[in-house]
Chains A and B, each alone.
Chain A
Amino acid sequence: MAQVALRNIVKTFDRTPAVRGINLDIPDREFIVLVGPSGCGKSTTLRMIAGLEEATSGEIYIGDQLVNDVPPKDRDIAMVFQNYALYPHMTVFENMSFGLRLKKFPKAEIRERVQGAARILDITDLLDRRPKQLSGGQRQRVAMGRAIVRNPKVFLFDEPLSNLDAKLRVQMRTEIKKIHQQVTTTTVYVTHDQVEAMTLADRVVIMNAGRIDQIGTPHEVYHTPKTQFVAGFIGSPTMNMLPCRLVENGSGLTVRLSDWLSFPVPPSRVDRYRPQVSNELTFGLRPEHIIEGRGDVPPGAAAFDARLDVVEPMGMETMVYFVVDGVEVCGRVNPAAAGRVGESMRLVADLNQMHLIDPGTELVI
């Protein structure tokens, strides 16, 4: 078990910068997830921690040791690859015990460790099979078993669930979470799927174009995103973003989205937003905070009517879309209350959850 620290990590490939300066402190036993779109540098960062890529500049510490010059085999880490990277000519047992065999562990201990890991992963009856006889999910477990058996300081996961079908992915996600509760090793997990990030992470690191946009718990990045990118990346469906203007309204402020739609700013935020009055801003509100209007409007919320453009029944909820000045806005309503396409429907927006973003800096205010 060890902590991991990255200081000013930069990685350039042939004049193309992939990672532009990363600072990260991962305490011992934390499950941290690096998430972001393709090409944001998350895999490169992971590989630098593993030693498979060399950092162009900056320092990497595993435990208290500076490991920039240490080859992967001496870093005491274990990695689970997206394509599992199981040795096809070895049985599951041999795959899992390979690292231990190389280090000349006694046979009894090898067997004990492999059996232990196999029990945790529920693959004890697969130990004599070859990888090509296993399903995708089983292979993934063997890959994890190989990592667990080594008892390393850090686990590294490189998009391990991307190759699995949707249902299996959900199942494996839960498995990984359970395993981390049992085997509490520090884990660095890379994925492009924000749902995986939110469900698995103790903390989430959102990366964009080689830089870290925000580090925080899932709750933090969901409720208090710091940049427009983070706000739009986290949450599904994505947050609605509309151009708007702040207007003085007596002692308070109003967010003006269009001729027919304006919302009052909750009193707690008036002081924060006042300096932005009459600037062009971006208004952000998640679809789950635009719900059907029924009866009383709770404090901080505002009711309005909108003509529905598209209605998507999802079973458990129905997504409704309406247009504001050419921008399609999404709301999430109870299926029973949903209106019909072309009709007007009463909706309620919970403005306690609103965000205002400066379009120039792309920072949330």
Chain B
Amino acid sequence: MTTTTTVAEPAIGGNRATRYGSISRGRRRTLHTSYFFLILFVIFFLIPPVYMLITSLKSSAEISAATNPWWVYHPTLSNYVDLLTQKTYLIFFRNSAVVSLCVVSVTMVISVLAAFALARMKFWGSATLATGVFLAYLIPDTLVFIPLFKTFAFIHDKTGVELINHWWVLIILLPTLTVPFCTWIMIGYFASIPKELDEAALIDGAGYIQMLIKIFIPVALPGIIAATIFCFTVSWANFLYGLAFTTSTDQLTLPVGIVTTLIRGDVYAWGEIMTGALLGAAPPLIIYAFLMDYYIAGLTAGATKG
């Protein structure tokens, strides 16, 4: 028996490499290659947020001095202090927070009820309706905001109810973006609950609403959390509807506020802008940091549970 052979018989159909490394060395090489490219990807993906952070710690003097943009020589928290004591910014933050929380509540109630009905209580047209919900999600906000704008103006003319330039209008509008997808996610989760649970509950004497509250919601809780996170993120990040429907400074939500007001004329207060942007990105990022798995579950639920 030869103890060291590295020459193999050539396999049929072509010349094979005749040198073999160890299998584990091959696996280690794949691993190193993977890490190498992943580091490149991570650098690409993290440059903007990191740069936001770096800039936010610079005074405007340092920024205009045009020193190394990738390093902070005299870090300062003055931008943060300015923004957080500035009434306007706090108003933006408050508007966004209130709108998002309200939208989340409204959306979740509507979605859970509708999803339960569509997933479990088969009634005439439920399949069509479910497909219709899915299709509604595919209609983008950019297609719809113009007629909505006109409609609201029309309602204002006719009834005097001001629907434009009030932040609470967004509470009516944003659910259109969140309800279809959240309903879709919840249908998926509810459908995966075994029917035996329903039957056991019915025999125990539960009505449908009780079934929903006592069984479905607790069992599908991960799905509900995922949908809630998705809903919050979408509301918080919304830019178009805010831009189109609100104009006065005290009515703006955060994204719109930062983009439109911090850019005053020709002077861009970049330190403040980046700080504002970073703080604006903070709530979704924090939720993501703690609830990453639910976040991802919400993402994948839509397409894979479809």
A binds B: yes
* A residues neighboring B (CB under 8 Å): 5, 51, 54, 59, 61, 64-66, 68-71, 74, 76, 103-105
Nearest CB in chain A: distance from B30 CB, A: 12
Q: Is B12 an interface residue (CB 8 A)?
A: yes
Q: Is B20 an interface residue (CB 8 A)?
A: yes
Contact flags B1-38 to A (C-beta < 8 A → 1, else 0) = 11111101101111010001111101000000000000
Nearest CB in chain B: distance from A197 CB, A: 28
> Complex formed: what's the CA distance from A54 to B23 in Å?
7
> Complex formed: what's the CA distance from A74 to B19 in Å?
11
> Complex formed: what's the CA distance from A74 to B3 in Å?
18
> Complex formed: what's the CA distance from A103 to B26 in Å?
21
Using known A-B contacts A74-B11, A104-B14, A105-B13, determine if residue A64 contacts B20 with beta carbons closer than 8 Å.
no
Chain A: which residue is nearest B17 at the CB level?
A: A74
Q: Is the CB of B26 within 8 A of A71?
A: yes
Nearest CB in chain B: distance from A264 CB, A: 50
Using known A-B contacts A66-B3, A104-B13, determine if residue A51 contacts B23 with beta carbons closer than 8 Å.
yes
Which residues of chain A have C-beta atoms less than 8 A from B6's C-beta? 69
Using known A-B contacts A59-B3, A103-B14, determine if residue A70 contacts B8 with beta carbons closer than 8 Å.
yes
Which residues of chain A have C-beta atoms less than 8 A from B20's C-beta? 69-71, 74
Chain A: which residue is nearest B16 at the CB level?
A: A74
- Give 5 new A-B contacts, CB below 8 A, not counting A66-B4, A68-B23: A64-B2, A66-B3, A70-B20, A71-B23, A76-B11
Query: Could you tell me the dominant secondary structure of chain B's interface residues?
Result: loop
Chain A: which residue is nearest B12 at the CB level?
A: A103
Q: Is the CB of B24 within 8 A of A54?
A: yes
Which residues of chain B have C-beta atoms less than 8 A from A5's C-beta? 1
Which residues of chain A have C-beta atoms less than 8 A from B4's C-beta? 66
Which residues of chain B have C-beta atoms less than 8 A from A65's C-beta? 2, 5, 8-9
Which residues of chain A have C-beta atoms less than 8 A from B23's C-beta? 51, 54, 68-71
> Complex formed: what's the CA distance from A149 to B116 in Å?
53
Using known A-B contacts A61-B1, A74-B8, determine if residue A69 contacts B21 with beta carbons closer than 8 Å.
yes
Nearest CB in chain B: distance from A235 CB, A: 36
Which residues of chain B have C-beta atoms less than 8 A from A69's C-beta? 6, 20-23
> Complex formed: what's the CA distance from A71 to B26 in Å?
9
Query: Could you tell me the dominant secondary structure of chain A's interface residues?
Result: loop
Which residues of chain A have C-beta atoms less than 8 A from B13's C-beta? 103-105
For this complex, into which size category does the number of interface residues on chain B fall? Answer: 10 to 19
- Give 8 closest A-B pairs by Cβ, nearest first: A103-B13, A69-B22, A104-B13, A69-B20, A54-B23, A66-B5, A70-B20, A65-B5
Which residues of chain A have C-beta atoms less than 8 A from B11's C-beta? 74, 76, 103
* B residues neighboring A (CB under 8 Å): 1-6, 8-9, 11-14, 16, 20-24, 26
> Complex formed: what's the CA distance from A61 to B2 in Å?
9
Nearest CB in chain A: distance from B87 CB, A: 59
Nearest CB in chain B: distance from A107 CB, A: 13
Nearest CB in chain A: distance from B45 CB, A: 32
Which residues of chain B have C-beta atoms less than 8 A from A105's C-beta? 12-13
Nearest CB in chain B: distance from A65 CB, A: 5
Chain B: which residue is nearest A64 at the CB level?
A: B2
> Complex formed: what's the CA distance from A59 to B2 in Å?
11
> Complex formed: what's the CA distance from A54 to B20 in Å?
14
> Complex formed: what's the CA distance from A54 to B21 in Å?
13
Q: Is the CB of A68 within 8 A of B22?
A: yes
Nearest CB in chain B: distance from A243 CB, A: 46
> Complex formed: what's the CA distance from A332 to B218 in Å?
56
Which residues of chain B have C-beta atoms less than 8 A from A59's C-beta? 3
Which residues of chain B have C-beta atoms less than 8 A from A76's C-beta? 11
Which residues of chain B have C-beta atoms less than 8 A from A64's C-beta? 1-2, 5
> Complex formed: what's the CA distance from A260 to B11 in Å?
70
Which residues of chain B have C-beta atoms less than 8 A from A66's C-beta? 1-5
> Complex formed: what's the CA distance from A153 to B9 in Å?
12
> Complex formed: what's the CA distance from A71 to B20 in Å?
8
Question: What would 13 A/B residue contacts be, using CB atoms closer than 8 Å?
Answer: A5-B1, A65-B2, A65-B9, A66-B3, A66-B5, A69-B6, A69-B20, A69-B22, A69-B23, A71-B26, A74-B16, A103-B12, A103-B14
Nearest CB in chain B: distance from A28 CB, A: 15
> Complex formed: what's the CA distance from A65 to B13 in Å?
20
Nearest CB in chain B: distance from A144 CB, A: 21
Chain B: which residue is nearest A104 at the CB level?
A: B13
Which residues of chain A have C-beta atoms less than 8 A from B9's C-beta? 65
Nearest CB in chain B: distance from A241 CB, A: 40
> Complex formed: what's the CA distance from A58 to B26 in Å?
19
Nearest CB in chain B: distance from A299 CB, A: 49
Nearest CB in chain B: distance from A113 CB, A: 12
Chain A: which residue is nearest B27 at the CB level?
A: A54
> Complex formed: what's the CA distance from A64 to B1 in Å?
6
Chain B: which residue is nearest A70 at the CB level?
A: B20
> Complex formed: what's the CA distance from A17 to B124 in Å?
60
> Complex formed: what's the CA distance from A171 to B8 in Å?
39
Q: From B5, B6, B20, B23, name the one whose CB has the most chain A CB atoms within 10 angstroms.
A: B23
> Complex formed: what's the CA distance from A64 to B23 in Å?
19
Chain A: which residue is nearest B24 at the CB level?
A: A54
Q: From A51, A65, A68, name the one whose CB has the most chain B CB atoms within 10 angstroms.
A: A65
Which residues of chain B have C-beta atoms less than 8 A from A51's C-beta? 23
Which residues of chain A have C-beta atoms less than 8 A from B14's C-beta? 103-104
Q: From A59, A64, A69, name the one whose CB has the most chain B CB atoms within 10 angstroms.
A: A69
Nearest CB in chain A: distance from B104 CB, A: 41
> Complex formed: what's the CA distance from A69 to B13 in Å?
22
Chain A: which residue is nearest B25 at the CB level?
A: A69
Nearest CB in chain B: distance from A149 CB, A: 13
